[in-house]
Amino acid sequence: MTKISRRHFLKTCSMVTVGFMGLYQSGCAPLLRRSSSSRPDLVDAGYGPLVTDPQGILDLPKGFSYQIISRSGNKMNDEFFVPGLPDGMATFPAENGLTILIRNHELMPKTHGPYGKRNELLGEIPRDKIYDYGQGKTPSTGGTTTLIYDTKNQEVVSEYLSLTGTVRNCAGGATPWNSWITCEETVYRAGDFAERSYFDKDHGYNFEVPASLTPTLYDPIPLIDMGRFNHEAVAVDPDSGIVYQTEDRSDGLIYRFIPNVPGQLAKGGKLQALVISGEGIKDTRNWHGEVVPVGVKFSVEWIDMDNVESPDDDLRDRGYEAGAAKFARGEGMWRGEDGIYFACTNGGRTKDGQIFRYVPSPHEGTPEEKQQPGTVELFVEPNDSDLVKNADNLTIAPWGDLVVCEDRSGKVVRLVGVTPEGKLYTLAHHHKETEFAGATFSPDGSTLFVNMQGRGWTVAITGPWREPVA
């Protein structure tokens, strides 16, 4: 197992600060609201026009190239099959310049799993390593795979199954103690028979997967105290050890988890929901007019949540009734040095998405935070699908730009860049009618990894990237 330094974690996370501060300070809010179809800035701000790929897969700027490094259905080094529907990812530095890439698979049972088309390899896995065995007939096939990648030679060194038996592992987040939190975006319960699949156990939990060079199938331990709901993504504050969470529901909440022991999430803790203090604002979605204006900071309180296993899937309803604010499909989340940023995929007047920023209190998670509370603000609200539509996963490039995956259908789906000056540009687009997911850079900044989810492909993109921010 390799270790990631806190300095590296903060350096990577802080890139989001640069990108989004530019969005607001440069007066980008009006830009994101205009509806002109002319978009020269989408090209000029980035790497130039995209060059048509003769293979008809992925269009990139001149000088850039890609290769498909993993395909669903291929055999991995551990003899299991690459599962389908790759989603959220993160990278970790390893010895000898190698990169550890941990990847989610947003799968239901009986679909594109690691055990083979007829589960012929199911018996090769110890029973206790499969979270939901589905009576042996419909075992859950979601989970994570880990790739060891050599960026110098641009090749996969090894690929293996690292967590299995879960359902719809969507996004998640990296921790400063060198692990990946993978999140189930579902609330199926033990005994449910859904989509021709039977479930032995409750779902809707987070699981932790360490980053390791050694092929390891980890114990599937649900982090129950973090709550049972439609999880999407997490972000960890390395100073406090608090974990922030999004909920992918049109009326979802924003949660924080205060662990009993920082860095040891399995030892439990306290789940809370975000409340906008004293303003009477409980609906941030702006679907019926501008209730929450761009750039205005609101003080925040956090309320304790009980019965967090939520057998009736009413956690968000109980939180809302107690005063928590609702958000429009909270999805991608990232921690910057000046706050926690999160995307709400269909927020805003045109439902093209919003991005919020939460700035923790200097006394986050302690009684003293009441005297100096954290704040939340609506950072950007595009209301213009020509700029970006339905931001989902997001990451930060080494040179400070934000890279956003669009969660949209259609013939052209984009990776959108946002400069520190607040200009948007198309970094890539494909024509395969599936969402981009899991964009993340290698620790050395040479390679952008991203998934073309419906195709089951993981792609590595290289090119003349800009110089890293100091």
Q: How many domains does the chain have?
A: 1
Per the CB < 8 A criterion, the answer to whether 32 and 383 are in contact is yes
The residue range of the domain holding 422 is: 11-71+386-470
Contact 201, 132 (CB under 8 A): yes
pLDDT in tens, 13-36: 444 433 333 333 323 333 333 222
pLDDT confidence tier of residue 341, bands split at 50, 70 and 90: confident
**Buried-state track 120-154, b at ≥16 Cβ within 10 A, e below 16:** ebbeebeeeebbbbbeeebbbbbbbbbbbbebeee
Give a yes or no: residue 344 inside a domain: no
Report the distance separating Cα 448 and Cα 441, nearest Å. Answer: 4
Please check whether residue 53 lies inside any domain of the structure.
Answer: yes
Cβ atoms of residues 427 and 46 within 8 Å: yes
Collapsing DSSP to helix, strand or coil, 379 comes out as strand
Confirm whether 95 is domain-assigned: no
Minimal CA–CA distance to 107: which of 139, 136, 78, 129?
Answer: 139
Q: pTM of the full predicted structure?
A: 0.91
Going across the sheet that includes 179-184, the strands are: 169-174, 179-184, 206-210
Which tens digits make up the pLDDT trace of 180-196? 999 999 999 999 988 77
Distance CA 58, CA 65 (A): 9
Predicted confidence at residue 69, as pLDDT, reads 98
Residue-wise pLDDT tens digits, 103-134: 999 999 988 899 999 999 999 999 999 999 99
User: Where does residue 121 fall: left (phi above 0), alpha (psi -120 to 50 degrees), or beta otherwise?
Assistant: alpha
User: Which of the 8 DSSP states describes residue 228?
Assistant: -
In a domain, 457, yes or no: yes
Question: For residue 464, is it within any domain?
Answer: yes
**Contact (Cβ atoms closer than 8 angstroms) between residue 135 and residue 200:** yes
Residue 310 lies in a domain: no
335-338 contacts at long range (C-beta below 8 A, 24 or more positions apart): 335/13, 335/16, 335/235, 335/236, 335/237, 335/238, 335/244, 336/13, 336/14, 336/15, 336/16, 336/17, 336/20, 336/396, 337/10, 337/13, 337/14, 337/17, 338/17, 338/21
Q: DSSP H helical segments within 347-404, as ranges?
A: none
Q: Where are the alpha helices (DSSP H) in 200-349?
A: 315-321
CB 108 within 8 A of CB 459: no
* pLDDT reading at 75 higher than 90: yes
Q: What percent of the chain has pLDDT over 70?
A: 90
Establish if 271 belongs to a structural domain: no
Instruction: Please state, for a pLDDT cut of 90, what percent of the chain lies above it.
Output: 71
Amino acid at 306: D
CA atoms within 13 A on the CB side of 36: 9
